[in-house]
Amino acid sequence: MNDKVLLSISEAAELFGIGQHRLRKILSDDYECKYHLMVGRVIRIKRKPFEEYINRVEQV
């Protein structure tokens, strides 16, 4: 999983230690799609931008 660029919700929850519901809330507020990508109806999290977001915020 270390070399994956796009992560599923469950993979990101496990990797970052954030619940799936909280991840979905963060992504629903991401109107400019900086941190996620829709592949059909499936949400994929852009790993690098999301890691930068997590490092930047004080509270999730």
Number of domains in the chain: 1
Helix (H) or strand (E) holding 36: strand 36-39
CATH number at residue 18: 3.90.105.50
Q: Considering the domain boundaries, does residue 31 fall inside one?
A: yes
Under 8 Å between Cβ of 16 and 26: no
- Assess if residue 22 is contained within a domain: yes
Range of the domain at 18: 6-56
1 in a domain, yes or no? no
pLDDT at 3: 86
In-domain check, residue 43: yes
Query: Looking at this protein, which amino acid is placed at residue 31?
Result: Y
Tens digit of each residue's pLDDT (9 = 90 or more) over 3-46:
899 999 999 999 999 999 999 999 999 999 999 999 999 999 99
Stated pTM of the model: 0.87
